Structure 1
Amino acid sequence: MKIKEYVKSAILCALVFSSIVLTLLIWNFSPDLTNVENEPTKEVSKSIGPRFDEEISQVVAPLQMVQVQGMKVEGMPATSEVNHLTDVFHKQQVKKVVYIENEQVLLLRELSDHFVVLDYPTDIPLSMYLSDVLDLQAKVPSQFKFDRLIYDIDETDDLVVYAIDAERHRAVKMTTTVKVESIKTHLKELKTALRPYMNISTNEDTVNKATYIYAQKNPENLKTYRTIFNHINVEDLNAILFDDTPIVRTTKSGNTIYNNNTGVVNYDPDSKTYHYTNLSEDERSTRDMNISIPRTFDYINEHGGFTDDFRLFQSNSHQGLITYQMFLNGRPIFYPNELNQIHVSWGEHGIFEYSRGLLKTNVTIDNGQKAKRLPTAEDVRASLASNSTIDFRKVEQLVVGYRMVPEKEPDDRLEIQVNSQFEPTWYIKHAGTWYEYNDGELIEQ
């Protein structure tokens, strides 16, 4: 019996001792809050589309790609596959920069007979393009702008790139560490999509292989597409642009005005357009496109504003205004009331103005109609040159785009959807403005 009592006493003492030790450990325990305190609070930005869905190389992108190999000229619209040409510059460098200027027509004397032309719809600051789009650091003239890049595909190992200004009088020649073979490999992947192109001279500045206007020679087998749009909710955009709930009022015209102390929105329910002005920003928006283009891209991208294939289409440094335009299959879409565009300008610290159409694509399909054949590039050139009301010398680009034609809907149609047709059509850039080509005439958009 005494042995059992001793065992019970020993067990009891062990339990009491363990309890004391555990109590002391609990009192002295201090959790490691280092990671918790330093963990950044992630703000979930409001969105009207997929967040951070676009890369800047897919938005600051060309209109078309043309490959010139001796007398053979082929090209294609700048699809996403063409835009991925920028991938070859990843982790590469610019070894040498040479500035070229001619008082008359630009001459690139060292350009070989095999090169690739990338035409852009607007002027782009070269320094911004190199750093933000290609992630390359190079000392180039800070105010130099280009609307054409030429990749020289000759027998040398390293790729030479020429950036050419819109006037075709100046260029920046850049020797890179990119291997020419990587460009050739990419071009082989695009070979089946290439179609015959032709060169066009419109004035004394477009008279050689580096400065010609290039256009698709015989556009045929072009499909018309039918698209169903969904509406972007006005309240979703208001939640992004306003810090608090705005005051709402309706004008006599039927437009709705939203405003608070920092901003005002004009929403037109008939045209489905939305225009915001930031009252806390200075009236004079930033004119430096080196700043405005990347910042407006980031701003729109952060709230999923690139709801379709939008691309930089016009940068007006005089007004500080940037236009992003909707594309389909690498071709621009045109529509008179700007449903196909995003207009934005950057102020001193943030967005100054932001306007857009409130439609986003739900589904796009072939409409089943017979493929369309357009006038040849030569027919378009000849008719424009012979039209006495058009200054042919001011023709800058000829491309095939899409005309957006809304379909007539029954009165009982669903308000959240709008149907449209995308019809292939020639478009001409003349004196800085885009026009629809129609039987020898230019129709303003």
Structure 2
Amino acid sequence: MKYIEPVKSVVLFLLVMLSVVLTFMIWTYTPDYKFIEQTEGKEILIGPQKEMKDVIRPYKAIYRFDKEFTGTVSNSAMVDIMEAFQGWNILDLMPVDNNLKADSVNEMIRTNNSMTVFFPGEIPYSAFNTIFQFADKELPETTFNRMIIDWSKYNNKELQVFFLSGNNELLMRSHVSLENANQFVRNIIEPAKTYSTFKEVERDGFISLYIANDKIESAKYTYFIEEKPELFKDVLFTNLNNVVRTDESATTEKYHDGMSRMVIDSKAKSLTYVYPAAESSVRIEPSKLFTDSFEFINEHGGFTDDYRLVSSSTSNNQLDYQLYLHGLPIYSDQAINRITTVWGDNRIFRYKRPYFSFEKDITSEKEMKELPSGSEIVEKIKKLNNIDLSDIDDIVVGFYLTYDQSTIVTLEPCWFVIRNGISTKLTPDILGGVKNGLE
């Protein structure tokens, strides 16, 4: 019995020392990172990943007060509108007219106490699943590019919302149960009373155009850009060891791995990736087409700047996303300004896009410009022989992108006419005979 206490002391000492040793080993342990790098999958993000709502943002909103229109194309106003939509309960979504006439649309937009939200492209209803709370579990496999919101009964916490499609002349109607209707009116409707007045440009048999009455002030910007063609190569090819590079010309590089190919055009600052085996003629429904396209681009952080869905063609499964800056679209005949995806057999078939992104605004080069009012532009267009108002989808202010140096671009505000997805730059020099067609 006399040895029990010494034994206890020895055991306790050993346990304490073991604890000290283990603690030291934990503190000083360094894992074999080389092994981890070899075994873990490599994820490359070219830019920040985005939410679906970021690429379906509207570009214009007009409001009807006492038989007068006001409106805005402000980027912050568009963000506020999308935030106001968050959580809306969409009830009783149903078709009203599948052969919608232009005169009917114009009358709806002219209704007092209503606002119209314009989207640059046809939006699948499913794309708003993360924004609206649809009462219907199954949404229609169709699209819309305008929303008309009637707030005349907001005191009853109810709004009436119409969804219009320009592609298939379909009108859908729904009701919104809105607990915070007063907040919506306070944050979205009341500020619109101070916006610039907009003019309705009526066209016999066609939906009216809506343009600002006042002269437009906008800045001319100069930006440094960052070019990342190598990163796209690393993202798009699954096994870089099999990739072979060939220089086609002074401005063209081609990469291929036996299954796919990518062409870099340094003159247009663009890349085109094609996976020929995925080519397919099977039509994909709008909701799945948009989801697949968005997820493919977003998976590698491909929405490197403000890109917005502007056009879709389910006949060949193609979607286009237009580059925007400060809420205005960018057009150019020097550099490509859209992301285009063509979906194939369970994967991307063709992917074309800019490989640059805006890095830094050169503030010393910023210059304010004054553009003619929309009303002035319309009057000048009416005098032209080669542009008919009835052929125009919209008249917008955007930026015209040019570059003299490889990593510096200039963005000058201009008026553009949009016809069948093609933009035509309108400047004082060429309004007598427009020649520039810009995609």
The two structures have a TM-score, normalised by structure 2, of 0.82
Q: 1:243 aligns with which of 238, 241, 248?
A: 238
Q: Which runs of 5+ in 2 are unaligned?
A: 16-38
Residue 31 of structure 2: aligned partner? none
> 1:285–1:346: 8 Å Cα contact kept in structure 2?
no
- With over 3 angstroms needed to count, the CA separation of the structure-2 counterparts of 1:201 and 1:301, relative to structure 1, is same
Q: 3-state SS of the aligned residue for 1:229?
A: strand
> 1:58–1:83: 8 Å Cα contact kept in structure 2?
no
Residue 213 of structure 2: aligned partner? 217
Matches within 5 A, 1:66-81: 66-81=62-77
> 1:231–1:359: 8 Å Cα contact kept in structure 2?
yes
Partners of 1:368 and 1:192 lie apart in 2 by 34
Partners of 1:296 and 1:258 lie apart in 2 by 23
Q: 3-state SS of the aligned residue for 1:306?
A: coil
Residue 24 of structure 2: aligned partner? none
For residues 140-178 of structure 1, the C-alpha deviation after alignment (integer angstroms, 9 at most, x for no partner) is: 772432211111121332122111121694311110123
Partners of 1:172 and 1:285 lie apart in 2 by 27
- With over 3 angstroms needed to count, the CA separation of the structure-2 counterparts of 1:344 and 1:146, relative to structure 1, is same
**Superposition deviation, residue 218 in structure 1:** 2.2
Tell me how large the CA RMSD over aligned residues is: 3.1
> 2:57–2:78: 8 Å Cα contact kept in structure 1?
no
Partners of 1:110 and 1:272 lie apart in 2 by 43
Matches within 5 A, 1:367-386: 371-386=368-383
Residue 130 of structure 1: aligned partner? 128
**1:11 aligned partner, one-letter code:** E
Q: 2:302 aligns with which of 294, 300, 305?
A: 305
Partners of 2:216 and 2:12 lie apart in 1 by 88
- With over 3 angstroms needed to count, the CA separation of the structure-2 counterparts of 1:130 and 1:358, relative to structure 1, is closer
Partners of 1:251 and 1:332 lie apart in 2 by 32
Partners of 2:363 and 2:162 lie apart in 1 by 38
Partners of 1:367 and 1:134 lie apart in 2 by 43
Matches within 5 A, 1:313-332: 313-332=310-329
- With over 3 angstroms needed to count, the CA separation of the structure-2 counterparts of 1:42 and 1:93, relative to structure 1, is farther
Residue 437 of structure 1: aligned partner? 426
Partners of 2:177 and 2:189 lie apart in 1 by 21
- With over 3 angstroms needed to count, the CA separation of the structure-2 counterparts of 1:171 and 1:272, relative to structure 1, is same
How many percent of aligned residue pairs carry the same amino acid?
18
Q: Which moved more, 1:148-157 or 1:190-199?
A: 190-199
Task: Name the larger-Rg structure.
Answer: 1
**Superposition deviation, residue 15 in structure 1:** 6.9
Aligned length: 404
Q: 3-state SS of the aligned residue for 1:222?
A: strand
Partners of 2:194 and 2:408 lie apart in 1 by 29
> 1:67–1:116: 8 Å Cα contact kept in structure 2?
yes
**1:155 aligned partner, one-letter code:** K
- With over 3 angstroms needed to count, the CA separation of the structure-2 counterparts of 1:15 and 1:170, relative to structure 1, is same
Q: Which moved more, 1:94-103 or 1:324-333?
A: 94-103
**Stretches of 4+ moved more than 6 A in 1?**
15-19, 108-111
> 2:89–2:132: 8 Å Cα contact kept in structure 1?
no
**Superposition deviation, residue 300 in structure 1:** 1.5
Q: Which runs of 5+ in 1 are unaligned?
A: 1-5, 22-40, 207-211, 410-416
Q: 3-state SS of the aligned residue for 1:383?
A: helix
